[in-house]
């Protein structure tokens, strides 16, 4: 199977000419897939090899994700006919399960730990402005402290609004996406456009240095950078023959 995929604006794969850089990228993904083939990735805590995810919308159907050694194949996917948009590593079932289940993953019968880059896309947006976020600002970029909500739920809404705002350019579509993603997880919060407008205004106030990135559609460019970070990490681990599972901005390895 092809491991380097270039898609058009409709998310359909399109042909492309190989370059030395593409050949190099392809070889790494092939080597990574070979490492995964030799690696037993399991969740021994489960009685059945499947995780059922409740629907996001009322009356929707649940999603069943099978925990299988046949569900590990990874590709690197680029978007919008551009090698500068997207470029993330996509494939393994561990990317599709809810984050709270990932702590139960074992690699070759050994327990694992997940290491992540905190608030990666917000930090990368600041880096694009020449600002080292964790040295110069240091506050939680998602904590909006919404009245009547816990810190956990306030942060979840702030995170969703900010990250979706990097991927979209239309305010209405942004609020619809946030509501769709979170309304069943935080049922006691009213996801009205007026409430979400206040959250967005608070985020603009919190982040004046990257305000022009909000609702700019910069998200695929940020994914391109985190794809390059993942490539750097995978190259190191594949070269050392150490199994590692990429989840875009986090990585799962044996303890």
pLDDT tens by residue, 158-180? 999 999 999 999 999 999 999 99
Distance CA 231, CA 252 (A): 15
| C-alpha count within 13 angstroms, C-beta hemisphere, residue 139 | 10
User: Given a cut of 90, is residue 12 above it in pLDDT?
Assistant: yes
Each residue's pLDDT tens digit, 109-134: 999 999 999 999 999 999 999 999 99
Q: Percent of the chain at pLDDT above 70?
A: 100
Rounded Cα distance between 30 and 145, Å, is: 45
SS3 label, residue 64 = strand
For residues 139-145, give the mean pLDDT: 97
pLDDT of residue 47: 95
pLDDT above 80 for 86: yes
Q: How confident is the model at residue 184 (pLDDT cuts 50, 70, 90)?
A: confident
Q: How high is the pLDDT of residue 56?
A: 78
Residue 58 has pLDDT above 80, yes or no: no
């Amino acid at each position: 199977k092809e491991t380097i995929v270039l898609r058009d604006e409709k998310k359909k794969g399109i042909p492309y000419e190989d370059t030395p850089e593409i050949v190099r990228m392809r070889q790494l993904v092939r080597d990574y897939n070979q490492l995964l083939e030799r690696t037993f990735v399991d969740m021994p805590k489960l009685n059945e090899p499947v995780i059922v995810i409740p629907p996001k919308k009322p009356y929707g159907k649940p999603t069943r994700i099978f925990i299988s050694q046949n569900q590990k194949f990874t590709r690197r996917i680029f978007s919008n006919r551009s090698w500068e948009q997207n470029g993330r590593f996509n494939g393994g079932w561990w990317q599709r399960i809810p984050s709270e289940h990932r702590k139960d993953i074992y690699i070759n019968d050994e327990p694992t730990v997940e290491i992540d880059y905190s608030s990666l896309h917000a930090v990368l947006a600041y880096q694009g402005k020449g600002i080292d976020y964790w040295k110069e600002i240091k506050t939680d970029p998602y904590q909006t402290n919404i009245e009547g909500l816990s810190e956990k739920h306030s942060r979840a809404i702030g995170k969703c609004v900010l990250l979706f705002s990097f991927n979209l350019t239309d305010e209405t579509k942004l609020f619809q996406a946030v509501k769709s993603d979170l309304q069943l997880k935080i049922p006691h919060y009213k996801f009205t456009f007026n409430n979400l407008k206040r959250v967005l205004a608070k985020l603009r106030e919190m982040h004046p240095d990257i305000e022009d990135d909000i609702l700019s559609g910069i998200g695929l460019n940020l994914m391109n950078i985190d794809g390059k970070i993942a490539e750097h990490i995978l190259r190191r681990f594949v070269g050392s023959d150490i199994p590692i599972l990429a989840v875009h901005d986090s990585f799962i390895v044996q303890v």
